[in-house]
Amino acid sequence: MYEFDFERPTSVADAVAALGTEEAQALGGGQTLIPTMKQRLAMPAKLVSLTGIAEMQGVRRNDAGELCIGGGTTHATVAREARDAYPALADLASHIGDPAVRNRGTIGGSLANNDPSACYPAAVLGSGATVVTSNREIAADDFFEGMFTTALEDGEIITEVRFPVPEAANYQKFEQPASRFALVGVFVARFSGGVRVAVTGAAEEGVFRWHEAEKALSSDFGPGAVEGLSVSADGMIADLHGSAAYRAHLVGVLTKRAVAAAAG
């Protein structure tokens, strides 16, 4: 990879300052960025590691009852520490990548990257979570702006993600056989005010909400409610691992399964 300067600040303020220079880039767990840099597809002049910032670590409940996860918290930590408070989220985290990847990869890094096949975007959008950054709060519905694109500005760091905890939820991932990323992943969450369904892996524009299913499930939260519903194959990813029609079909299958698991 290309040479770069490396900094490992211990506070968000220092990190923001370090990121203020030209061609500086934040480094979360590096599980996507480092392989990208090895291919010389990214060439930051400076990498600012966020792994040394204690205030961005950990899982807690706030006064509003939200589950708050520090932006630098690893998937393994979420899998372990969110288990009681938000089992569906912990379960999702426990199936990202592999154990060694989960020990380094972070929620903030995953969300900032917004890989169209990543799992966390489905949980964040499906939960209606709030992404807290170094200078503002962004609602999940406003955060994801398409494949590898988010509302984040240059130098803006995800410091925390606040998840409202649903009454019931489940995430179903159908793995792409090689990468083990989601070929399609569906996150279903039932709140007192309604149901949210978020789909990852399937669409060229990245994670999206399946409003039709949400509406049906909000009035009848059972697998039967989505029987017969389908998403359009238009805009779905088509590649070696599955056609657009196949992905659209899987959205229906996985939604049904997620609802059955959440309702069960």
Q: Please report, as ranges, the residues that interact with another protein according to CB under 8 A.
A: 1-6, 8, 30-31, 34-35, 37-40, 47, 49, 51, 76, 97-101, 103-104, 174, 177-180, 183, 240-243, 246, 249-250, 253
CB-based contacts of 153, cutoff 8 Å, min separation 6: none
Instruction: Say if CB 44 and CB 25 are below 8 A apart.
Output: yes
Closest distance between another protein and the C-beta of residue 104, in Å?
A: 5
Q: Which residue, 52 or 146, is less far from another protein as judged by CB? A: 52
Q: Which residue, 106 or 130, is less far from another protein as judged by CB? A: 106
Instruction: Say if CB 207 and CB 131 are below 8 A apart.
Output: no
Closest distance between another protein and the C-beta of residue 26, in Å?
A: 13
CA angle, residues 163, 160, 4, in degrees to nearest 5: 140
Question: Which residue from 241, 245, 217 is spatially nearest to 231, judged by alpha carbons?
Answer: 245
Burial of 228 (0-12, 13-18, 19+ CB in 10 A): exposed
Q: Which residue, 40 or 234, is less far from another protein as judged by CB? A: 40
Measured CA to CA, the distance from residue 202 to residue 25 in angstroms comes to: 28
DSSP state string for 80-140: HHSTTT-HHHHHHHTTSS-HHHHTT-BHHHHHHHT-TT-SHHHHHHHHT-EEEESS-EEEH
Q: Specify the DSSP element, H or E, that contains 251.
A: helix 244-263
Give the amino acid at 98: D
Q: Which residue, 76 or 262, is less far from another protein as judged by CB? A: 76
Closest distance between another protein and the C-beta of residue 176, in Å?
A: 8
Closest distance between another protein and the C-beta of residue 151, in Å?
A: 27
For the chain, how are helix, strand and coil distributed in percent, rounded to 5? 35, 25, 40
Q: Which residue, 10 or 149, is less far from another protein as judged by CB? A: 10
Closest distance between another protein and the C-beta of residue 256, in Å?
A: 9
Q: Which residue, 31 or 110, is less far from another protein as judged by CB? A: 31
Closest distance between another protein and the C-beta of residue 166, in Å?
A: 25
Q: Which residue, 27 or 122, is less far from another protein as judged by CB? A: 27
Measured CA to CA, the distance from residue 89 to residue 112 in angstroms comes to: 18
Instruction: Say if CB 181 and CB 83 are below 8 A apart.
Output: no
Closest distance between another protein and the C-beta of residue 27, in Å?
A: 8
Q: Which residue, 76 or 122, is less far from another protein as judged by CB? A: 76
Terminal-residue alpha carbon distance, the chain: 49
Closest distance between another protein and the C-beta of residue 51, in Å?
A: 6
